[in-house]
Amino acid sequence: MAEKRDYYEVLGVEKSATADQIKSAYRKLAMKYHPDRNPGDESAKTKFQEASEAYEVLSNPEKRQRYDQYGHQGVNFGPGGFDFGRDFSGFQDVDLSDLFGNLFGGGGGFGSFGDLFGGGRRRQADPNAPERGRDMTMELEIDFDEAVFGSERSLDLSLPEQCDECGGTGAAKGSKRAKCHTCGGRGQVVRGNGFFQVRQTCPTCGGAGTVIEKPCPKCGGSGQMRVKRTISLRIPKGVDTGSRLRLAGKGAGGLRGGEPGDLYVLLRVRDSDVFLRDGLDLAVDVPVSPVDAAVGGSMDVPTPEGMASIKLPAGTPNGKLFRLRGKGMPSLRGGASGDLVARVTFEVPQRLTAKQRGLLDDLAKILDETNFPERQAFAQRVKTFFAHKEKLNG
Ligand SMILES: [Zn+2]
Ligand SMILES: [Zn+2]
């Protein structure tokens, strides 16, 4: 047997890593080397299996302790030791929905539109039994407007479906399943040299004990083929980054009469160039003329429901906040909408004409200190500051 790598090294974590750190490290590797993301790449597959095996041990406190104490032998051969009958040829023993369900919380990178990866495929005890299709997860980036107004999307996806040539059996017409020669039909093989021996799932038949005599020419024996499908998706109002939409029965097709899996769509909402969003609340900076703010006027504020007009009292200061209750994001669950906070943001007039400039010059001449109470208060604070300086320097 080849020298096994240290499990901590495989996951790239310290010996003292917490359960969360281990999980997070595994999640990163699983995302990177997931077989569905690296079709046909044997080295990625090996890395995925290696990481899965390490995670299997290190995520279990008992196994981890034995591993820390005795190394690989502790988990492979100790009493109640690591069960090599479990199959690491795929990723069936790992609850990917759990791992990927936390994708957004973990700040993982987002793939592009239509980036698909499958969930875990369960071991099939009886190769002829119906098999439910895999749940599939895709990431979808949508515009902020779609999150506010809701939208209809049509997704062009290529999803695994039962091969129509062989009906999902993977066998060519007229051929049957025959006993696997590698394991003699037992589904397991014994590996190792001399002293140490391990039972492993048969690599030829994957534990089924039988193999396809002649693989179906259309699907190559997998029983599945990728089929292009157009799926319509309704995005409800109020979704946010991290919202997960479930489309029942729209995942991978089942095999041999099994029902299809589900399709999950993980959303990422792009930032708006108008609003800042914090959950259900929205904030917006509204450019206002300081002249209007001085004499009083109105301010037009965009809201998800349309424009709203806010009365500006004479003397409205820059940065003044107005809260519009219930004018924020619509609630996804049908509850109350959030609030919208509009902030007055002075825009100093640009590109003045001679006449405008003249008027402002005249105005500047007749404004005095009483027009600027904040400037007066500020001048007073500055004076006190320098008075202290003189006192301290004695
Ligand atoms: Zn076999
Ligand atoms: Zn086929």
Nearest to 272 by CA among 111, 153, 154, 146: 146
Q: Ligand 2 centroid vs 215 CA: distance in angstroms?
A: 8
Q: Ligand 1 centroid vs 190 CA: distance in angstroms?
A: 11
Cβ-proximal residues to 378 (8 Å cutoff; 6+ apart), any chain: none
Position 3 scores a pLDDT of 66
- Residues 130 and 381: their CA atoms lie apart, in Å, by 81
Res. 171: pLDDT tops 70:
yes
Res. 89: pLDDT tops 80:
no
Res. 72: pLDDT tops 50:
yes
Q: Which helix (H) or strand (E) holds 298?
A: strand 297-303
Q: How confident is the model at residue 93 (pLDDT cuts 50, 70, 90)?
A: very low
**Maximum average pLDDT range among 88-92, 171-175, 265-269:** 265-269
Answer for the pair 180, 208: CB distance below 8 angstroms, yes or no.
yes
Predicted structure pTM score = 0.58
What CATH superfamily classification does 276-350 receive? Answer: Urease metallochaperone UreE, N-terminal domain (2.60.260.20)
Position 55 scores a pLDDT of 86
Q: Ligand 1 centroid vs 211 CA: distance in angstroms?
A: 7
Report the CATH number of the 114-176+213-270 domain. 2.60.260.20
- Give the CA distances from residue 189 to residues 85, 202, 271, in Å, rounded to whole numbers and listed in that order: 9, 5, 54
Nearest to 260 by CA among 170, 363, 135, 148: 135
Instruction: Identify which ligand lies nearest to the alpha carbon of 161.
Output: 2
DSSP for 145-174, please give it.
HHHHH-EEEEEEEEEEEE-TTTTTS-BPTT
Q: Which residue has the tokens 């895709």?
A: 138
Instruction: Identify which ligand lies nearest to the alpha carbon of 204.
Output: 1
122, two tokens:
């369960």
Instruction: Identify which ligand lies nearest to the alpha carbon of 225.
Output: 2
Position 75 scores a pLDDT of 65
Answer for the pair 139, 115: CB distance below 8 angstroms, yes or no.
yes
Position 98 scores a pLDDT of 37
Arithmetic mean of pLDDT, 147-154: 95
Q: How confident is the model at residue 343 (pLDDT cuts 50, 70, 90)?
A: very high
Instruction: Identify which ligand lies nearest to the alpha carbon of 178.
Output: 1
- Give the CA distances from residue 92 to residues 10, 192, 219, in Å, rounded to whole numbers and listed in that order: 19, 24, 22
Q: Ligand 1 centroid vs 277 CA: distance in angstroms?
A: 56
Answer for the pair 123, 202: CB distance below 8 angstroms, yes or no.
no
Instruction: Identify which ligand lies nearest to the alpha carbon of 186.
Output: 1
Cβ-proximal residues to 264 (8 Å cutoff; 6+ apart), any chain: 135, 136, 137, 138, 244, 245, 246, 247, 251
* 351 conformational bin, left if phi > 0, alpha if psi -120 to 50, beta if neither: left
The domain over range 1-110 is classified in CATH as 1.10.287.110: yes
Contacts of 187-190 with CB under 8 Å at 24 or more apart are: 188/85
Position 76 scores a pLDDT of 54
Rounded mean pLDDT of the chain?
Answer: 82
Least confident of 38-52, 143-157, 159-173, 316-330: 38-52
Arithmetic mean of pLDDT, 64-69: 81
Q: Residues within 5 Å of ion ligand 2 by Cβ?
A: 163, 165-166, 216, 218-219
Segment 207-261, tens digit of pLDDT: 888 888 888 999 888 888 888 989 999 999 999 999 999 999 999 988 888 899 9
Position 97 scores a pLDDT of 37
